[in-house]
Amino acid sequence: MSEKKTFRITRFDPDQDEAPRTQTYEIPVDPDWKVLDALNFIKDEIDGSLSHRWSCRMAVCGSCGMMVDGKPTLTCKKPLSEYGSEISVEPLANFPIVRDLVVELDGFMEKFESVKPWIIRAKERAVEEGTHRQSPAELEEFKQFSMCINCMLCYSACPVVANEPEFLGPAAIALGHRYNMDSRDEGAHERNEVFRGEGTVFSCSYANECSEVCPKHVDPAAAVNQAKINAVLDWATGFVVTRGKE
Amino acid sequence: MIEVIRHDIVIVGGGAAGLRAAIAAVEADPDVRVAMVSKVYPMRSHTVSAEGGAAAVARDDDSLEMHGFDTVKGSDFLGDQDVIQYFVEEAPKELTLLEHWGCPWSRNEDGSVATRAFGGMSTKRTWYAADKVGFHMLHTLFQHSMRFDRIIRYDEQFVTRLIVDGGAVRGVAALDVREGVVRLILGRAVILATGGAGKIFPFTTNGAIKTGDGMALAYREGVALKDMEFVQYHPTGLPGTGILITEATRGEGGHVINSEGERFLVTRDYGVGTKAELGPRDMISRAIVQEIEAGRGLSGPYGDHVHLDLRHLGEEKINARLPMVRELAKIYAGVDPVHQPIPIRPVVHYMMGGVDTDIEGATTIPGLYAAGEVACVSLNGANRLGSNSLTECLVFGARAARHAVGYAKGSDDGNEAACRSLGEEESARIAALRGKKKGGEKLARIRHDLNATMESGCGVYREQASMDDTARTVAQLKGRFADVALEDESAVFNTELTAALELSNMLDVAETLAVSAAHRHESRGAHTRKDHTSRDDQNFLYHTLCNFDPTGPRLSKKAVALGKWEPEERKY
């Protein structure tokens, strides 16, 4: 632990601070550390008042997303060795700050729920009927989009979210699309109605930033593009059916 | 005046057991309103880190009888056989429900759910979704729970006390981490689903949140913690971080090898017989420690270890079945398992013990239930079989909830004034703790010393003097904790305060563990002693109960529910 690095960390306590400020810590670092290890060292050894979220430290619980040197980063996954001697750590962009490196998730959770992320069926299957048959190919149709850990890096990277905070956003759209593509689900029509609403799939500007920062290779940009096409097709089909009935 | 919120059922913890309980409760009764209280957002719960799979009979060559016996034998005959019988019967139904709710189980070519081999299981009965089973189960349950308006979430609310009045539980006091206020969340029944306590050890697969909160809450109100001495070491953790490398690596055909390239589980007698790498976890962890002690380990920057070799599985199979293992090994150990063996050593993974419950998940306090790792319903006895615990969360989360709903209907709301008074008291306690002391010993120092003594006294191999020493040391640490420095005065997201509350829970749980361990003078399952090397059914075929007492933990015995399987020598 001979090498030292300097961390410039956003501090904000709404009880005391009018605006976020930056505090600097110089600490010895281990060559194998991830960014999160440095934050935990500061919290344990230097400043117990630093607040950040973390838990699994194996890139699956999605708690520890932050801006590191200005980029949305899952801090338990990113090696410290990839940075220089001075590193800035800020809360995720495009979210309100609660305190220090902790951001508010309320808006995200509402968006997440709005896409009806559960299996919808006209008639629910009874346990006695056993499992559905789903071929490996059918599983492949949605599997990638089911890998999202809700770390919210894509919302921090998204230029549309930055300008239009109400935008449904990459992770929520990918999640809705995941259920639409699941052979067990019959709820695509309901979700496509959500997707055709204001501030959803058609607000996306194809920047692709979401897919670039995704630590789980979910490729939400691909989901958004597919969801757009499906939402239009669904509308067109509904139009034909409605006309046909008249 | 303390704010009071009232629901019918209050569930503490939003992992697999808590979410399954919430869904079962609203399905059991069209009017019931559930509070889902978690110190994190539910999708951060540690269920997310489970990798390899969930067990339930699914194939024609399998039977409930076989799953039952495997579990009894795995438990070293300390599992309750009525509980195990119920578990194996419900398991296939529960995993089928998860399938209906969208869990992306891996599939066979014909579209049926695929199963894989796991340690101690006599055939392929572990359902899997690649090697991210806990992640997919958790997200499926969480997303499915959103269908129900009657499940009301209280995210990032840290439960600091159970409200017990008039001989029954009436709800919880919870610190709103974001706002810093304590509220009462009252209900006619409370279900604890807060998970285990792996963080009392230094080297664990467990995430930061696994601090034994529910165990400590129940213990302080007089509920016994049962079989706390049984701590599962998973054989394959990454040195340094303790990150889990799933048993599915061995289920898919991986080999464990020593420094001489020898598959010692095949070539030497470690009691696993022809099961070799698919022996139960307690035996394989002991074998690895013995290999290292015999000088056949490898040394590395994070201590001695052996190798897990997956190279012969080939890149295609590794990518299809074990993608997360490949990613974890690359990021956290710097090796690509397609080309290099993975360094591994045994790592604290799971608490067989926990809050003493009956088969309904009910505790000795009317209205208080527990399910999942926080509980000890006595499914796992002295050693849990891999892939039984995810299923356990579902089976007993659901059963506890259904029983709690019935109990709540026949119960009353209790004396609200008395509950308020307990809530005010708790609110004052938390307020006094926040920023209480400038300077003095750091919290992390006490946590470090706790971790060190747990490993030295209650590790894979134990003996009387070291366990007694650990019990004494933990008692001393409790004294030091009373004087810990807490400098952060902020009400908002004060994680120094929550870390202190967690450490206090860890200290209580650790003490029950060390004291329980020191009194079991035999080796059974994961409790392995150098000074009492064999199992002693004559004197120790019972569950250990540990109760809170102002003078120190008080131990007693509880009978094991035996049945059609008589205890026999556990040899594979």
Closest by CA to B323, choosing from B135, B537, B168, B476, is: B135
Chain B residues near residue A62 by CB distance under 8 angstroms: 43-44, 48
Which pLDDT value is given to residue A236? Answer: 83
**B44 in contact with chain A, both atoms CB, cutoff 8 A:** yes
Which residues of B does the annotation mark as catalytic? 234, 250
Under an 8 A CB cutoff, do A119 and B301 touch? Answer: no
- From the list B111, B146, B332, the residue facing A58 with the nearest CB is B332
Q: Give, in words, the CATH class of B238-347.
A: alpha beta
**Chain position carrying tokens 């344990």:** A44
Helix axes A106-114, A170-180, angle to 10 degrees: 20
Confidence of residue A240 (pLDDT cuts 50, 70, 90): low
> If you average pLDDT over residues A158-173, what whole number do you get?
96
**B572 in contact with chain A, both atoms CB, cutoff 8 A:** no
Which pLDDT value is given to residue B438? Answer: 86
**A101 has pLDDT over 80:** yes
How many other CB atoms are there within 10 angstroms of residue A118's CB atom? 19
Per-residue pLDDT tens digits for A50-61: 999 999 999 999
- From the list B132, B147, B492, the residue facing A99 with the nearest CB is B492
- From the list A15, A127, A182, the residue facing B490 with the nearest CB is A15
What's the half-sphere exposure (Cβ side, CA atoms, 13 Å) at B299?
3
Under an 8 A CB cutoff, do A60 and B324 touch? Answer: yes
- From the list B106, B324, B487, the residue facing A48 with the nearest CB is B487
Best mutation target, A15, A119, A144, to test chain B (most B CBs within 10 A): A119
3-state SS, residue A6: strand
3-state SS, residue A232: helix
Kindly report the nearest CA distance between residue A33 and chain B, in angstroms: 9
**A182 in contact with chain B, both atoms CB, cutoff 8 A:** yes
Q: Give, in words, the CATH class of A4-103.
A: alpha beta
Percentages (nearest 5) of helix, strand, coil residues in chain A: 40, 15, 45
Per-residue pLDDT tens digits for A30-48: 999 999 999 999 999 999 9
Which pLDDT value is given to residue B440? Answer: 87
Closest by CA to B344, choosing from B309, B320, B318, is: B309
Low-confidence ranges of chain B (pLDDT < 50): none
d(CA A60, CA B49): 7
Q: What is the CATH number of domain B4-231+350-420?
A: 3.50.50.60
Which pLDDT value is given to residue A242? Answer: 46
Interchain CB contacts (distance < 8 Å): A and B: 154
B79 φψ region: left (φ > 0), alpha (ψ -120 to 50), beta (else): beta
CATH 1.10.443.10 is held by the domain B434-559: no
d(CA B563, CA B70): 14
Touching B: A residues 62-81, CB under 8 Å:
62-63, 77
Residue B11 is encoded by which pair of tokens? 């569930």
What are the strands, taking DSSP E only, across B93-228? Answer: 115-116, 126-127, 151-154, 157-165, 168-176, 182-186, 189-192, 225-226
**Chain position carrying tokens 């360094």:** B343
The CA distances from residue A118 to A184, A191, A198, A220, B290, in Å, are 11, 11, 22, 18, 48
The CA distances from residue B419 to B3, B41, B190, in Å, are 11, 27, 14
Residue B416 is encoded by which pair of tokens? 């609200």
**A1 has pLDDT over 80:** no
Residue B495 is encoded by which pair of tokens? 């994680």
The domain locations on chain B are: 4-231+350-420, 238-347, 434-559
How many other CB atoms are there within 10 angstroms of residue B152's CB atom? 15
Residue A21 is encoded by which pair of tokens? 């400020």
Residue A90 is encoded by which pair of tokens? 């800020």
3-state SS, residue B277: helix
Under an 8 A CB cutoff, do A56 and B301 touch? Answer: no
> If you average pLDDT over residues A101-113, what whole number do you get?
97
Closest by CA to B393, choosing from B378, B379, B373, B376, is: B373
**B439 in contact with chain A, both atoms CB, cutoff 8 A:** no
Task: Confirm if B372 and B58 have CB atoms less than 8 A apart.
Answer: no
Backbone φ and ψ of B376, nearest 5°: -125, 90
Sign of CA dihedral B238, B241, B244, B245: negative
**B493 in contact with chain A, both atoms CB, cutoff 8 A:** yes
Closest by CA to B207, choosing from B20, B389, B47, is: B47
Touching B: A residues 186-245, CB under 8 Å:
none
What architecture is the A106-245 domain classified under in CATH?
Answer: Orthogonal Bundle (1.10)
**A246 has pLDDT over 50:** no
Under an 8 A CB cutoff, do B135 and A130 touch? Answer: no
Task: Confirm if B545 and B557 have CB atoms less than 8 A apart.
Answer: yes
Kindly report the nearest CA distance between residue B256 and chain A, in angstroms: 23
Chain A residues near residue B143 by CB distance under 8 angstroms: 117-118, 175
> If you average pLDDT over residues A206-220, what whole number do you get?
96
Task: Confirm if B327 and B336 have CB atoms less than 8 A apart.
Answer: no
**B152 in contact with chain A, both atoms CB, cutoff 8 A:** no
Number of residues written out for chain B? 572
**A243 has pLDDT over 70:** no
Touching B: A residues 114-173, CB under 8 Å:
117-119, 124-125, 127, 130-136, 138-139, 142-143, 146-147, 149-150
- From the list A57, A102, A105, the residue facing B241 with the nearest CB is A57
Number of residues written out for chain A? 246
Quote the mean pLDDT of chain A: 94
**Chain position carrying tokens 């590794």:** B318
- From the list A54, A98, A136, the residue facing B208 with the nearest CB is A54
The domain locations on chain A are: 4-103, 106-245
Which pLDDT value is given to residue B439? Answer: 85
The CA distances from residue B227 to A238, B53, B116, B559, in Å, are 60, 25, 30, 12
Nearest CA in chain A to B323: A216
Nearest CA in chain B to A113: B146
Per-residue pLDDT tens digits for B258-289: 999 999 999 999 999 999 999 999 999 999 99
Best mutation target, B45, B139, B145, to test chain A (most A CBs within 10 A): B139
What is the predicted ipTM? Answer: 0.97
Confidence of residue A245 (pLDDT cuts 50, 70, 90): very low
